[in-house]
């Protein structure tokens, strides 16, 4: 770290600290509404009989649904908070890994942590690159998905 680093001890201490889980009950209608809103007519996301014919228990969530759906039945809060010297935030990117299908009827627990924090100097001056990682587990404790989001604080 250089002397004028904007990365503080508070930020370093926040890395890797897991949040309390947020809990989601996966239901058919929010999945269908999601698919409608992006314009995806895949029957896996709306037709239970069709989904069963493909070996699933019920309709499944589209890729990315879990990481972006913001209506938990119980909110766990984020990882440990820290102060940024910057006030503006941009969404830099989203990356998802999928291990098991997420199906209607599942109860998903999501824990979040700050995975990485870097600083960079760009056209707008100094900025912080903040990478958060969320792990999603189903009711059987199996990891179904992981998501990484990159935030740019500037």
Interface with other proteins (CB under 8 A): 30, 33-34, 36-40, 42-44, 54, 62-65, 68-71, 90-98, 148, 150
Comparing CB distances to other proteins, the nearer of 38 and 143 is 38
CA end-to-end distance (rounded Å), the chain = 19
Separation of alpha carbons 118 and 151, rounded Å: 11
In the bound complex, what is the minimum distance in angstroms from residue 25's beta carbon to other proteins?
A: 15
In the bound complex, what is the minimum distance in angstroms from residue 140's beta carbon to other proteins?
A: 19
Quote the tokens at residue 1.
Answer: 């770290």
Kindly give the residue spans of alpha helices, DSSP state H, lying in the chain: 9-14, 28-38, 48-53, 65-68
The DSSP symbol for 21 reads P
In the bound complex, what is the minimum distance in angstroms from residue 141's beta carbon to other proteins?
A: 21
Residue with token string 């979040």: 112
Comparing CB distances to other proteins, the nearer of 3 and 49 is 49
Comparing CB distances to other proteins, the nearer of 6 and 129 is 129
């Amino acid at each position: 770290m250089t002397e004028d680093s904007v990365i503080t001890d508070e930020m370093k201490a926040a890395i890797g600290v897991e949040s309390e889980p947020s809990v989601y009950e996966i239901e058919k209608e929010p999945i269908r509404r999601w698919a409608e809103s992006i314009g995806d007519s895949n029957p896996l996301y709306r037709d239970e009989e069709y989904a069963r014919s493909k070996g699933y228990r019920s309709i499944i969530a589209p890729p990315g649904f879990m990481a972006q759906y913001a209506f938990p039945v119980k909110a766990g809060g984020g990882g440990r908070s820290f102060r940024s010297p910057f006030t503006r935030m941009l969404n830099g990117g989203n990356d998802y890994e999928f291990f098991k299908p997420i199906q209607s009827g599942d109860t998903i627990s999501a824990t979040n942590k700050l995975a990485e924090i870097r600083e960079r100097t760009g056209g707008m001056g100094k900025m912080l690159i903040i990478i958060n990682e969320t792990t999603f587990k189903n009711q059987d404790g199996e990891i179904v998905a992981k998501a990484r989001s990159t935030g740019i604080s500037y």
